[in-house]
Structure 1
Amino acid sequence: MANILRRPVLLLTVAAVLFSTAPVSNSIPFILFHDKCSGGVSNFTQLLSNLSGSPGSCLEIGNGEIDTWFMPLMHQANEACEKVKMMKELSQGYNIVAQSQGNLVARGLIEFCDDAPPVINYVSLGGPHAGIAAIPKCSSGPICAIAEDLMKLEIYNDFVQDHIAPSGYVKIPGEMTKYLDHSKYLPKLNNERPDQRNSTFKNRFMSLHNLVLVMFQNDTTLVPKETSWFGYYTDDGFDSLLSTQQTKLYIEDWIGLKALDDVGKVKYVSVSGDHLMIAYNDVVKYVVPYLMA
C-alpha cells in the first residue's frame, strides 16, 4: 500500500504570493494540523495566512513525524488540547485546516477537549475519518522497519494499539468485533460502540459552522479514498462500498454529521490528484474562504 505517512509536495506554484507581505487582519485565527511544521507545511501555513488575511499557526505534536507514528492518537489529541488552551489568540474561537492523519488529531481536539475555545470552521484535506482498510507503510528509515514489524504482529493487539498511532484507525472489514473491542481511538472518536455513545462528543462536533471534507480523486494512500467523506466498506467485507449517507454513522447520526448536513453545513469537495496533491486554484476555492469568516 502507498505510504500513509508520505508527505507529497503541494502543487502550489505561487512563490510571489507565498512570500508577499500582505497585512494580516483582525479576522479569526486558524491552526493547521500535520505531522510536522517545517518545510512545505510551514510554507503552506504561511500561504493560507497570506491569501486569507488571517493569522495562522501550524501546531506540531511532540517530536514531529516520529511521534506522529509512535505516539498514540489519544495522547496526541490530549497534547493538542493543552496547547490550544494555552494559545490566548484562540480564546474567542478559531478555524482548523488539517491534512491526512492530522484530521484525527483535529477531530479529537474538537470532540474530547474540555473547556477549549470553540472551533468555527473545519477544513479536512484527505482525512481517514471512517478508518483505513489496509495497514499503512512507513518509509523513514530503520525506525519504520521496527514499526512495520510491530504492525504485522496483530493490528488490534494491545501493544500495537499503545505504540503505533495509525493502528488506532485501521478498520478491517469482516473483523468488526475485534475492531470494536480492541481499537483504542477511532471507535471512540466516531461514537461507534453502542453502549459508550457520548452525546458531548456529538454536540461539540455539531457546533461547527462549516465542515469542508476534501477527497482526492486519485488518492492511493487512503483505502478507500471515500473515507475522506466518511464513506466506507460494509462491516462484512470489501465487496461493497457505502456512500456517506448509507453508513450507520450517518443514518443513526452518531457524531452529528447528518445534523450538520441537514442544515447545509457540510461541503463534500472532490479534487483531482493523489493524496494531498492539491492545486493552487483548489486551495483558493475550497480552503481560503473558510479562513476568512
Structure 2
Amino acid sequence: MLAIVAFVFLFQVVTCSSNNANISSADEPLPVVLWHGMGDTCCNRGSLGAIVDLIEQQVPSIYVRSLRIGDNEEKDFSNGYFMNVNDQISFACQLIRSDDKLKNGFNLIGFSQGGQFTRALVQRCSLPVRNLITLGAQHQGVFGLPRCEAVTNNLLHNSVCDFVRKLLSLGAYNSFVQKRLVQAEYWHDPLKEQKYKEKSVFLADINNEKSPRNETYRQNLVNLNKFVMIMFEDDSMVIPRESSLFGYYETGNIKKIVPLEDSLLYTDDRLGLKELNESGKLIKLTIPGDHLQFTDDWFTSNIIEAYLK
C-alpha cells in the first residue's frame, strides 16, 4: 500500500475488429468516441467536454460519445489513477457495444493515456473502428516523471529526477502495484526489459511482447482505415516524448532513442505497424508545444476536417 501511495504522490506532485465501418448514409457523419487522459474527465467543460463541444460545433449532426469510466465524473477521475487498466478496457468495450448509435462504425480518439487505452480497445474488442487517432499517447510506455526533463540545464534537478525514477522502477513491477495503479501499468524500464515483459500486466500485452503472440491484436490494427499518432515536440509529460510515435529508449540505454522504424516492434511487425505504414495507413504527426497544447483551429483543421467529416 505504501508503494502505491508513494507512486501516485510522486506523479501528482510533478504534474500538480477493427473492421472498416460502413456508413449508413453518405450525408451522415460517422460517430466519434473519445477517451480522456490522466487527471481529466469525460464531460466537464474544463476538460474533454470542451472537445465534445468543438466537434459538435464543427459537425452539427455528428454523434459524440466521451467515455465515462465509472458511475459519475468523480469515479471517472479517480479511475484514471486506480482502476486496473484491463478492467477499464473491458468496461469501455461494454459501453460501446451497448450503444446502438455506434454499431455501424465510428472514429476513435484517445488523449494522453487514453491513447494507448483506445488502441487496446481496437486490438482486444474487435470493434467497428474506422480511424484511430491518438494525441500525446504513451504507446511504448514511460520511463520518467512528468515535467522532470523540462529543466535540461539544472544538474541538481536532473539528478533528483534520475534518483526518483530509480525508486519508481523498484516498485512499479510489484504485482500489487501493477494491478492497482494505472501509471505503473505502462511503466517501461529499458534497463529491466525482461522484467518489464514478464511483469507488465497491460502494456507488454497490448504491444504483443508476450508469448504466444496474439494475432488478433495485429489483425485488428491492420484493419483500420487510418492510425494517426501525434507527438508534441516540447512534451514534458510523456518521458520520452517519442513514445507518442512508438519511439523509445534503446534497451539498456536511456541516452539513445530508437525510432519506430528501427525497432523490433516494427521490423518483426508484431502489431502490423509496418504493414500499416507501407500501405499508407499509418500517419505520424508532430506539432510544437507541450503536452496536449493545441488550438481549436489546429484541432479543427488536422483532426475534424481531415478525419471526422
TM-score calculated relative to the size of structure 2: 0.79
> Which of 47, 57, 65 is the matching residue for 1:57?
65
Give the SS at the match of 2:299: helix
DSSP-derived class of the 1:32 partner: strand
* Cα distance in 2, alignment partners of residues 136 and 78 from structure 1: 27
Q: 1:187 matched to which residue of 2? A: 204
2:6 aligns with none
Residues 79-113 of structure 1: CA deviation (Å, up to 9, x unaligned): 01010000100001000111001112211111111
Residue 39 of structure 1 corresponds to 45
| Partner of residue 217, structure 1 | 233
Partner of residue 179 from structure 2, selected from 157, 162, 165 = 162
Work out whether residues 126 and 214 of structure 1, in 8 Å CA contact, stay in contact via their aligned partners in 2: yes
Give the Cα–Cα distance (whole angstroms) in 1 for the partners of residues 171 and 188 of structure 2. Answer: 12
Distance in 2, Cα, partners of 1:130 & 1:288: 26
1:151 positional shift: 5.8
Residues 283 and 2 of structure 1: CA distance in aligned 2, closer, same or farther (over 3 Å): farther
Partner in structure 1 of residue 243 of structure 2: 227
Residues 132-157 of structure 1: CA deviation (Å, up to 9, x unaligned): 012559xxxxxxxxxxxx96761000
Q: Does residue 1:257 correspond to 2:273, yes or no?
A: yes
Question: Quick one: which amino acid aligns to residue 134 of structure 2?
Answer: S
Q: 2:132 aligns with which of 106, 117, 122?
A: 122
Residues of 2 paired with 1:78 and 1:169: CA distance?
17
Write out per-residue CA displacement over residues 112-131 of structure 1, whole angstroms, 9 at most, x where no aligned residue: 115x3x10011111000011
The answer for unaligned runs of 5 or more in structure 1 is: 8-24, 138-149
Q: Aligned match of 1:93 in 94, 105, 123?
A: 105
Is the partner of 1:154 in helix, strand or coil?
helix
By how many angstroms is 1:52 displaced? 3.4
Supply the distance in 2 between the matched residues of 1:80 and 1:154 (Cα, whole angstroms).
28
Distance 1:39 1:83 in 2: 21
Q: Does 1:289 align with 2:273?
A: no
Counterparts in 2 of 1:94 and 1:241: CA distance versus 1, 3 Å: same
Instruction: Tell me the SS of whatever aligns to 2:50.
Output: helix
Q: 1:128-139 to 2 correspondence within 5 Å? A: 128-135=138-145
Give, in angstroms, the shift of residue 290 of structure 1: 4.3
Counterpart of 1:36, as a letter, is T
Q: CA RMSD in A?
A: 2.3
- The equivalent of 2:223 in structure 1 is 207
Report the Cα distance in structure 2 between the residues aligned to 1:73 and 1:128, rounded to whole angstroms: 14
- 3-state DSSP of counterpart to 1:254: coil
Residue 96 of structure 2: aligned partner: 84
Structure 2: 5+ residue runs without aligned partners? 1-9, 17-26, 148-166
Distance in 2 of aligned mates of 1:5 and 1:256? 35
Equivalent AA in structure 1 for residue 28 of structure 2: N
Count of residues in correspondence between the two structures: 262
SS of corresponding position for 2:190: coil
Q: Secondary structure of 1:47's partner? A: helix
CA distance in 2, matches of 1:202, 1:222: 25
CA contact (8 A) 1:203 1:256 kept: yes
Distance 1:220 1:278, change over 3 A: same
The residue matched to 1:120 in structure 2 has which SS? strand
